[in-house]
Structure 1
Amino acid sequence: SYVVESLTDEIEKKAFEYIGRIDDMGGMLVAIEKGYVQKHIQDAAYEYQRSVETKDAIVVGVNKFQVEEDRGEMNLLTVDSSVGERQIAKLKELRESRDNIAVKNTLDDIEKAAGDDSQNLMPHIMNAVRNYATEGEICGVLRNVFGEYTENIVL
């Protein structure tokens, strides 16, 4: 229908304008580093929450048509501490039974490949997984090479 097509065209126009502003800044990475994207997300979230609280936006079950019996106590999932203890024991057993020299070699391969922009990391990561390297060990190597992302706080 004409109405749907018109609304779609308007959304497309606004999207291309937004992408154009990001391109004018130097691309998405620059926009993220400047806090531009985060600011827009924060502003949109604030406006939406405000519209829900003022009932300009209706959310069934939140600010309209609420059912009283739904307001009772929530049944929260509780996990027995023995689950964690069993996982720690399994991890210890894995580290004792695997070929730790092979694991070290595959982690070293990941580190070398991560330092080379022309390398695809996935085959190296898959090789490490096949040798029973843990997710934490693999991520630790990648953190050593690339560092950790810290988001700029935008006020």
Structure 2
Amino acid sequence: MTDFLNQIKYEGITSRLKRLSDVLLYSTKDLYRAEGLIIEPNWNLIFRLLQEKGEMTITEMSETLQFSHPAVVKIVNKMKAEGYITAAIDSKDKRKQVLSLTQKALQDIPKYEVYWNAGIRVIEEIFEDSPNILEELSKIELKVKELDYKQRVLLKIK
């Protein structure tokens, strides 16, 4: 059976990227569930940030990851509910919460790192025939950041 999205070339590119992302995401969720891990696929990003920085606000995380503020809030709230993140009021700005890893997180991270490191090796294997994929992806992200899709389309039709 032919792949329609592949057949329609650039018209299907965003759907192909989404499909690939979904396949990897759902497979990761399935792996974690099968292994009895109480985490979600994107939590490793927050764990890693807080391991490196010690503590951060939601805004700092959002800016660092270039994710929307609501997306980071959603991830962090789930992690808080599982007891991996603790929040304290910022001493300089009482409106802000400073987030950090709990003792539970610090204890569980080594167990999770086994899966994350294996996952990195798997991704490297999947992309081994595309050695420039990260550079190409960075170029595309930069172009979209310079002038987004909406702006580009409007320039084409006016």
TM over 0.5: no
Q: Which of the two has greater strand per residue?
A: 2
- More contact order relative to length (CA 8 Å, sep ≥ 6): 1
Q: What is the TM-score with the length of structure 2 in the denominator?
A: 0.24
Higher CA-based Rg: 1
Q: What is the TM-score with the length of structure 1 in the denominator?
A: 0.25
